[in-house]
Every structure is written in C-alpha cells, then in structure tokens.
Amino acid sequence: MLTFVLRRLITFVPMMFLMSVVAFALIQAPPGDFLSDYVVQLQNQGEYADPGELESLRKQYGLGQPIYVQYAKWVWGILRWDFGRSLEMRVSVNDLINERLTLTIILGLFTVVFTWTLAIPIGIFSAVRQYSWIDYMFTFFSYLGVGTPNFLLALVIMWFVFAYFGLSITGLFSPDYVEAPWSLGKIIDMLKHIWVPMLILGTDGTARLTRIMRANLLDELNKPYVETARAKGLPEWQLIMRYPVRIAINPIVSTIGWTLPQLFSGSLIVATVMSLPTLGPLLLRALYTQDMFLAGSIILILTALTLIGTLVSDIVLALIDPRIRIGA
C-alpha cells in the first residue's frame, strides 16, 4: 500500500512538468498574443490602445522575450510557489486564484455531497423496487436530469426566481459581502446563495449516478451469494446494505478522480451564466485573452487536483474493497 502511494507520488512530478509544457504551448498556439487581444477588446468598444501603453505593457511583462525564456521564468517562479502575474489583471496569479479556488472546491464538495446523498439511496431504492411506480418515477426524473443541459436549467431557474420573487440570483454572495473579508456572516451569506448552483450542478450528476447505482446493484442482486445470505435468514435490508451495495458502489468511488475536473468544465457555462466567482470563468477568460500565466497556472492546478483525486479514489477503493487491496 505504502509503495503504491509512493510510486504514484513519484510519477506525479513528471506528469505535472509535461502538463505545464503542454498547457503553455497550447495557450501560445492561437494567432496573436495577449496584447493583440487587448487591442481588440478596446476596439470592441470603439476605443483604441495607445501605442505607448502597449509598449510599456510589453516591457512590464517581458512579452518580447522568446517563448522558452518566458516559460522558464514561469516554471522557476512556480517552484517558489509564485505563479507569476496575470497579464490582464496585472496582479499576482496567487492572489487571483486563492479565493476562487477555495470557492470552487467548496462548491464542488457541496455538489458532490448533494449528488451522493441523493443518488445512492435513490439508486438502491430503484434497484430493490425495480419496475415499481416509484422506480418509474425516479427513472423518468433521472432521464430528465441527464437530458437537460444544466446551463439551461440555470437560466430557467434564474428566470423563474426573477419572475416570481423579483430577485436576480447571480453570484455566491450578497453585494455587501462580496468584497468583505471572511467572517461568520459571510459564510452564512454564502450558504444562502450556494444551494442554487449546487442544485443546478448536482442535477446532472445525481441523475447519472442514480442510473449507475441502480444498474450496478441490479447486476449484484441476482447473484448466488445474495440468495445464500437470504436463505440463511439475514434481514433483507441489512443484507442489501452489507453485501451487494458495497460492490455496486465501487465504480462510483472510482469516479472521484474526475469528479472535480468534470465539475469544472461542466460548471463553466453555469458559472458564466450565473456569474459565479469560481475558477471556471476565470480560466475561460484567461484562455480567451491569452493571459498565459493565469491560464497555465489554472490548468496546472486542475491537473494537480485531478491527479490527487485519482490517487484518493484509488486509496478509498482499496480500503472499501479487500479484493483490490490484495491484488495490489
């Protein structure tokens, strides 16, 4: 077990390095650079960029230097936990990412917890009461959930809340708390807002997980060991929870690794539509404006989170399933 974890940790480093190169190269790939995009954004409003300003920007950010020099400087900074300076926002990437990363992880955790607490019991229930009217109802709703793009759901809910309650539910905080430092009030304020995006982001996952859970459990329920246990007189509910559910849940645990990145990309449009202060919109914007240090750093952090997530899911799997532990 320990060697397994260690081995995984060692492959971590070259993976990250590779990803940083790929990320940096990809961001450079489209024509133009940050400055040409900056000029374009000003032109979009019928304005124009002063040549002196552009020249001074080029100087401040060392954009005239060759790409590999820019890359080397960036990586050297990251080794000292300095992700560089956002070209567009003109502030340190660390400062920009910190709060948004926290909020992204909080929102992600809320969504995962919401998804699991809803999906697993429903899945179990549906499987055990297969073809009952409740199963049909859940099936109907889960197809609806999978079928509805969550950004559309976001728009519909936003419209609904606005039309009937006169509120615009965007963001994660009330205006008073947006720029305020963290406090108990701010946390409560966040809890008041976070359920809407949590609900929207969770719908799709809940529906999907319900289906997976149901299918997996159905596979297990007809197996001989279940029959045996039942024949031996084990109470039905205890039997299901103790044996088939533990096996059926394995594939779900193994998805932990990519839950976070999936929430990231899946939530991107929702977060944009709802103006959520998470990393997704920031990444989108950074890619759009070719803000390479910011975009590169976010991609790198995402990679790290995915790798960590996969590691965690492997460890959890090994813990809950003795067969895997022995196999390793």
Partner 1 sequence: MRKQLWAIALLTGLVLALAGCASSETPETIIKEVEVIREVPVETEVIKEVEVEKVVTKEVPVEVIKEIEVVKEIPAPKSFYESPLLAQRAQAGQIPPIQDRIPTEPMVIPAASQGTYGGTIRRVYFGPADIWNFGRISSERLLRWSQDASALVPALAKSWEASNEGRTWTFHLREGTRWSNGDPFTADDFVFHYEDVILDDEIAPIKPNRLKTVGGLGTVTKIDDYTVRYDFEDPYWVFPENIAQMDQFNGCCNQPYAPSSYMKQFHIKYNPNVEAEASAEGHESWQAYYLAMFDIRVNPLRPMLKPWIPTEDSRYGSSQVFTAVRNPYFYAVDQYGNQLPYVDRLQYTLVQDNDILQLKAIAGEIDFQGRHVNLSMFPLLKENEATGGYRMTIWPANTGAEIGIHFNQQWTGAEGDYFRNKDFRIALSHAINRDEINEISYLGQGVARQPAPAPSEPHYPGDQYAFEWTEYDPAKANEILDGILPNKDADGFRLMDNGERLHIIMDTTPGEGRDTDTMELIAADWEAVGVKTKVNEVTRTLLSERREAGEHMVYIWGSGIGDPALVPAPDWMGAPFPQTLLWYNSGGAQGIEPIPIVKELTDMRARTTQLPLEERIELGKEIAKKQLEQLWIIGVTGLSPSNQGVIITSDRLRNVPEIAANAWMFRTPSTGFPEQFWFSN
- State the residues that interact with partner 1 by CB under 8 A: 31-32, 36-38, 40-48, 50-57, 59-60, 62, 82, 85-86, 88-92, 95-96, 158, 162, 166-168, 170-171, 175, 178-179, 272-273, 275, 277, 281, 284-285, 289
CA distances (Å), origin 162, targets 78, 197, 321: 44, 15, 48
In whole angstroms, give the CA distance from residue 83 to residue 81: 6
Task: Count Cα atoms within 13 angstroms, Cβ side, for 153.
Answer: 20
Q: How far is the CB of 244 from partner 1 (least distance, A)?
A: 45
Q: Which of 287, 214, 310, 210 is nearest to 34 (CA)?
A: 287
Nearer to partner 1, 31 or 224 (CB): 31
How many CB atoms are closer than 10 A to CB 55? 12
Q: How far is the CB of 156 from partner 1 (least distance, A)?
A: 13
Q: How far is the CB of 300 from partner 1 (least distance, A)?
A: 19
Q: How many residues does the chain have?
A: 328
Contacts of 203 (CB under 8 A, 6+ apart): 145, 148, 150, 153
**Buried b / exposed e across 222-261, counting CB within 10 Å, b at 16+?**
eeeebeebeeeeeeeeebbeebbbebbbeebbebbbebbe
Q: How far is the CB of 304 from partner 1 (least distance, A)?
A: 23
Nearer to partner 1, 8 or 58 (CB): 58
Nearer to partner 1, 239 or 268 (CB): 268
Q: How far is the CB of 170 from partner 1 (least distance, A)?
A: 6
Q: Which two tokens stand for residue 265?
A: 């990309």
Nearer to partner 1, 62 or 121 (CB): 62
Nearer to partner 1, 162 or 237 (CB): 162
Nearer to partner 1, 143 or 162 (CB): 162
In whole angstroms, give the CA distance from residue 184 to residue 187: 5
Nearer to partner 1, 166 or 224 (CB): 166
CA distances (Å), origin 327, targets 221, 313, 323: 24, 16, 6
